[in-house]
Amino acid sequence: MTIFKKIIDGEIPAEIVYQDEHCLAFRDVNPQAPVHILLIPRKEITSMAAAGPEDHTLMGHLFLKAAEIARAEGIEANGYRVVVNTGQAGGQTVHHLHLHILGGRALMWPPG
Ligand code: 5GP
């Protein structure tokens, strides 16, 4: 079981900023920007690479909610970044699909 599943189940506390029947968003414990939120599906999908055709609607839902959350957090006007680290070289450390929503400062490109 991943740490994110424990957050979904309420076994570990998190600062939740949005939730619905399909997903949950909470502040990253180690923020890399003034606003750093993790948006995860309630469904246990290990990574973006593990999502399948059955997740078509869910994946769209996550991206649309990421935009809504960014707007609610006040980072839409200046711009923000949504990142999905995938696999080892992608820097993924928690094996439950998650979108990082980052904003509140100018972000560098290319990423490290
Ligand atoms: P990844 O490296 O897999 O893309 O991102 C995992 C993220 O989860 C990291 O940014 C890390 O700070 C965050 N994280 C890990 N454990 C916890 C936790 O228990 N609570 C919260 N809120 N964030 C966590």
Neighbours of 108 (CB within 10 A): 8
Encoding tokens for residue 64?
A: 């649309």
Q: Which atom of ligand 1 is nearest to the CA of 83?
A: 4
- Regarding the beta carbon of 92 and ligand 1, being less than 6 Å apart is answered yes
pLDDT of residue 24: 98
- Regarding the beta carbon of 28 and ligand 1, being less than 6 Å apart is answered yes
- Total length of the chain: 112
- Regarding the beta carbon of 91 and ligand 1, being less than 6 Å apart is answered yes
Per-residue pLDDT tens over the stretch 31-78:
999 999 999 999 999 999 999 999 999 999 999 999 999 999 999 999
Neighbours of 70 (CB within 10 A): 22
Q: Residue 112: which pLDDT band, with cuts at 50, 70 and 90?
A: confident
Looking at the domain that runs over 3-103, which CATH code has it been given? 3.30.428.10
Instruction: For residue 80, list its beta bridge partners.
Output: 103
Nearest to 86 by CA among 95, 74, 76, 73: 95
Contact 49, 87 (CB under 8 A): yes
Q: Where are the domains of the chain?
A: 3-103
pLDDT of residue 92: 98
Residue nearest to atom 20 of ligand 1 (CA): 29
